[in-house]
Chains A and B, each alone.
Chain A
């Protein structure tokens, strides 16, 4: 067996938290499949922010992201009887979200309107902003907005597939294997797409980035 095929057939190693989460999800999914429709609300509440975040970062439009997130949950609800549990519910839901986003972006390739959510400058984000601006500067908020726009513009310049990989890896924190499973491609493809996308982003954002 070659090294490549070993890598491709390697089973996904999920973190203990993710495994625990997947177990809890499968119990809820079984309840929904048994007819307890209200249990689906738990799944919505658990994943709505992450699904919304994924779609928002891919579309850079909060109205579209809200609509698509709702559609994703409706699709998941309508097809949950077909969910066989081969992948985790999270992966399955993300796959629906990614496919819906890709379809939406392809349909509206020529129509791009940006509408951003507010940048909540707290935690790590506040730290980054502090390093880029004077901590007590009056123009900090203006700079944050400018930086947000630059970031989104740079992301939108990427192709849909590269943007998806960057979003899933850098922003949502998924592993290469999980991304490969969601996007139906090999881990090597995910890595190469990520590398290429980062190169493009660095050239776009070179004013802010340490060489």
Chain B
């Protein structure tokens, strides 16, 4: 190379040579044709779905997020509202509402006085039609309430009346199920007619009860069984370990072998 090299140049001069590398003129004709074709293809080509999705997400993320948060708060508020608040809602008929609001002593005679004519039919109406709270609307042909209900209503406290009325309004269950057992039934011990816990009757309460910590006896029974299982497993594991340790060590002639 030294024979033909007359003079050395700088790096900048050498890099100037790179500028001189140019495509031929016909290259640009082909370039334009290909570019046109690509432009048309880009117009016709369907964009991937995620591009549109991301653009839509950017546009609607804030309002959707706000709406979701609001909905979540409303649902939480509705689902976990205190039970007493719902009990105090005026869902009962006028007679029962008056009874539940008034002091027990002063109302007992009043209830007894109007019981055959007004109170009991009103209770019965609200059981079948929870929203029919207006006294002006004539009640449809209602069958007479059962005798057990009539007798229980005469002795029930205002709180009991209120709870029974609430459960009827929300669950639409048979009112006689809440009545205390008659002496005959209590003696026979019929399981079907046993008085049910009013708080555990509605399906909603049952669902909610799943998320509450258990404090009843079933929890202790389960804990005991879990402890038994744990003990059994640990015993089994210790036996396995012992068995494995025995089999890992062996004597082979004058050597002791240990398997890992």
Residues of chain A whose beta carbon lies under 8 Å from any beta carbon of chain B: 44, 48-49, 52-53, 56-57, 62, 66, 69-71, 73-74, 77-78, 116-125, 128-129, 131-134, 137, 139, 143, 147-148, 151, 155, 166, 170-171, 198, 201-202, 205, 207-211
Contact = CB atoms under 8 A, between A and B. Distances in A.
A170 B24 contact: no
A128 B23 contact: no
Nearest to A210: B8
Given A120-B22, A148-B17, A151-B18, A209 B38 contact: no
Given A117-B22, A124-B20, 13 more contacts: A52-B31, A66-B34, A118-B21, A119-B21, A132-B8, A133-B5, A155-B18, A170-B12, A201-B11, A208-B9, A208-B14, A209-B9, A209-B10
Contacts of A125: 16-17, 19-20
B164 to A, nearest CB: 68
A48 B39 contact: no
B3 to A, nearest CB: 9
Contacts of A48: 28, 31
Q: Which of B5, B19, B28 has the most CB of A within 10 A?
A: B19
Contacts of B11: 198, 201-202, 205, 209
A66 B22 contact: no
Given A121-B20, A209-B9, A137 B4 contact: yes
Nearest to B30: A66
Interface of B: 1, 4-24, 27-28, 31-32, 34-35, 38-39, 42
A117 B6 CA distance: 26
Contacts of A209: 8-11, 14
Contact of A143 (B4, B9, B20, B22): B4
Contacts of B15: 151, 166, 170-171, 201
Contacts of B35: 44, 70, 73-74
Nearest to A56: B21
Contacts of A69: 31
Contacts of A44: 32, 35
B20 A119 contact: yes
Contacts of A131: 6-7, 9, 13
A171 B19 CA distance: 6
Nearest to B23: A117
Contacts of B9: 128, 131-132, 208-210
Nearest to A205: B14
21 contacts: A57-B18, A66-B23, A70-B31, A74-B39, A116-B21, A117-B21, A117-B23, A118-B22, A118-B24, A119-B17, A123-B20, A124-B13, A125-B17, A132-B6, A132-B7, A147-B14, A155-B18, A171-B15, A201-B15, A205-B14, A209-B11
A115 to B, nearest CB: 11
